[in-house]
Structure 1
Amino acid sequence: MVLTVAKLVNHTPNTRIHHQYTAHTPAILTLNCFEKNCDGGGAAACDNKFHSDNDLIVALSTGWYNHKSRCGKKIKITSKKNGKSVLATVVDECDSVNGCDKDHDNQPPCRCNVVDASKAVWKALGLNTDVGEESITWSDA
């Protein structure tokens, strides 16, 4: 059985982003640095702290992040490449609306289907961080 939930999120009067979530939601895994003085931007949105890249942590695209509703919760990430899975804690938002400014380390907005993960997540999944992106599925744990 696959549970499908679709939600329309209004961020500004002129911006509507549709995000779909299923029990095995397809996504793109990207690499993020959650430590201070890296290219990951500022402190994590959930707790306003920096985190070690040795921790199993992620940032979710804006719609999946859903106004901090997943902060501190674990998600299960499964690599489509090798079938390995890992549980990781949501600590941040990968902003799908704003970007290209100082607050976002001059990076463009995140795509709406991204799970932005620490090096530890990539390692646990047996994936090469040099690739930069991998196809995954994820679900709430």
Structure 2
Amino acid sequence: MYPTYTCSPPMSGNTQAYLTLNSFEAGGDGGGPSECDGKYHNDSTPVVALSTGWYNSGSRCLNNIRINGNGRSVVAMVVDECDSTEGCDKDHDYQPPCPNNIVDASKAIWKALGVSRDNWGDLDITWSDA
């Protein structure tokens, strides 16, 4: 019913992506605990989930990436996968599969990028390994 992806756009020095908002806290909209460490993370911690292709079977787990957007830059830790292959079930908080170009970010990242709260949720960005 929804498109699914096993790959993401190729990586470059500044890979174009779409920043979305996610809560990694228990009871948040991220569903279960993070894939990389089996833990929940506070919304004030700069953490992200990457689309399946960029998550690359966990090869970026607990590594930092640099996110550039809104004229600012922030470093965040990869803690989860934004699943591009499955969705619409309890494990995925009944959300559809993630597109293949998503960096799903905690509130801390949106704050660090200086995006006004009423504009949180969708932002064109670039990112790279830190």
- The Cα offsets for residues 98-138 of structure 1, whole Å up to 9 and x where unpaired, read as 00001101000001000000000000000134331001000
1:30-49 matched pairs, under 5 angstroms: 30-49=20-39
Amino acid at match of 2:25: E
Give the superposed CA RMSD: 1.2
- Distance, in Å, in 2 between the alignment partners of 1:140 and 1:70 is 9
Give structure 1 stretches of 5+ with no counterpart: 1-14
- Distance, in Å, in 1 between the alignment partners of 2:84 and 2:44 is 25
What is the deviation of 1:83?
Answer: 1.6
2:7 maps to which of 17, 36, 43? 17
- Distance, in Å, in 2 between the alignment partners of 1:118 and 1:39 is 11
- Distance, in Å, in 1 between the alignment partners of 2:102 and 2:116 is 17
- Distance, in Å, in 2 between the alignment partners of 1:30 and 1:16 is 19
1:93–1:52 distance in 2 versus 1, CA, 3 Å: same
User: Could you tell me which residue of structure 2 aligns to residue 10 of structure 1?
Assistant: none
1:122-141 matched pairs, under 5 angstroms: 122-131=110-119, 132-141=121-130
Q: SS of 2:98's equivalent?
A: coil
Q: Percent identity?
A: 59
1:105 maps to which of 85, 93, 107? 93
User: Could you tell me which residue of structure 2 aligns to residue 75 of structure 1?
Assistant: 65
Number of positions where the alignment pairs a residue of Structure 1 with one of Structure 2: 125
Larger strand percent: 1
What is the deviation of 1:19?
Answer: 3.3
Q: SS of 2:57's equivalent?
A: coil
Amino acid at match of 2:18: I
What is the deviation of 1:18?
Answer: 4.9
Matched, 1:121 2:109: yes
Amino acid at match of 2:44: N
1:118–1:18 distance in 2 versus 1, CA, 3 Å: closer
Kept after mapping to 1: 8 A contact 2:7/2:54: no
User: Could you tell me which residue of structure 2 aligns to residue 88 of structure 1?
Assistant: 76
